[in-house]
Amino acid sequence: MSAVSARSTLAAVGGDRIRALQHALYRAAKADPTRRFHALFDKVSRSDVLERAWEQVRRNRGAAGIDHITLADVEEYGIDRLLGELAADLKQRRYRPLPARRVFIPKPGSGEQRPLSIPTVRDRVVQAAVRIALEPIFEADMLDCSFGFRPRRSAHDALQVLIDESWRGRRWVVETDIANCFEAIPHSGLMQAVEERVCDRAVLGLLRGMLRAGVMEDGSLRRRAAGTPQGGVITPPTQWATSASRSR
């Protein structure tokens, strides 16, 4: 990107450097559907990206992971201190995600329970930073009819499409569901879908580490070759990758 276009992009997003970064990645991905991005890790470890990631994690609140460290504990420890440590660990390739804490919550409309994986606050910040870098790339490949896990889209928007189509005379709705979707996605297939757009070895290694970190349930560590952490910040990017791959 030229200096002039970079300045114009920054001005268009009100001086927000994170949004400017995402706009640049989106435009590059949209312009070339076959492009594979190789320089993303430096974005993930940027101090301003980690700061935005922390803001997102704090806004979403959430419980502590297996280390029992809460958001309040992080604020007492020092946000800048934590983010500085994370940046150093990432740049020096020392960062290693911890297993997520597995809990079960009631599944609405049934007597079943849904597994929920709760990463540590530290890991949620890194996951959010990865999400900031990957979201615009896979968003560029999404079809207009896709609504799941997408920015500024929701189930209500999908419902409105159904309402609009019914007024146009449509009379059939086909509903399908992938049984145990989050637990069944194979890591190998998921990474293959990500690699269609990303060739940055450091980012790919980071994603593999997050997927392989496993979950801690009843004192036992469980690692599998399939599944993404339902409840983790990294889950939406894994869904984007598989959805975008199908769209292409």
Encode pLDDT of 161-193 as tens digits: 999 999 999 989 888 777 777 777 888 888 999
pLDDT at 109: 75
pLDDT at 242: 56
User: How would DSSP label each residue in 164-227?
Assistant: HHHHTT---------TTHHHH-BHHHHHHHHHTTB--HHHHHHHHHHHHT-EEETTEEE--SB-
Encode pLDDT of 212-230 as tens digits: 999 998 889 988 888 777 7
Percent residues over pLDDT 70 in the chain: 88
User: Band of the pLDDT at 8, cuts 50, 70, 90?
Assistant: low
Encode pLDDT of 50-80 as tens digits: 999 999 999 999 899 999 999 999 999 999 9
Number of H helices, E strands in the chain: 12, 4
Cα–Cα dist 164/158, whole Å: 10
pTM of the model: 0.84
Residue 144 pLDDT > 90: no
> Measuring CA to CA, which residue among 10, 9, 82 is closest to residue 50?
82
Contact partners, residue 6, CB within 8 Å, separation at least 6:
20, 24
Residue 129 pLDDT > 60: yes
Contact partners, residue 213, CB within 8 Å, separation at least 6:
97, 98, 99, 100, 119, 123, 223
Percent residues over pLDDT 90 in the chain: 57
* pLDDT, mean of residues 36-42: 96
Q: What is the mean pLDDT of the chain?
A: 87
φ, ψ at 138 (rounded to 5°):
-80, -25
Cα–Cα dist 31/212, whole Å: 33
Contact partners, residue 87, CB within 8 Å, separation at least 6:
45, 46, 47, 50
Strand partners, 10: none
Sort 195 into a burial class: Cβ within 10 Å, 0-12 / 13-18 / 19+.
middle
Question: What SS3 class is residue 95?
Answer: coil
Query: Sign (positive/negative) of CA torsion 40, 41, 46, 48?
Result: positive
Strand partners, 118: 101
pLDDT at 4: 46
pLDDT at 46: 97
Cα–Cα dist 114/107, whole Å: 5
Residue 123 pLDDT > 50: yes
The structure tokens listed for 194 are: 């990500």
Q: Of 39-48, 143-152, 165-174, where does the model show the most confidence?
A: 39-48
pLDDT at 228: 79
Considering only 9-13, 114-118, 154-158, which range has the smallest mean pLDDT?
A: 9-13
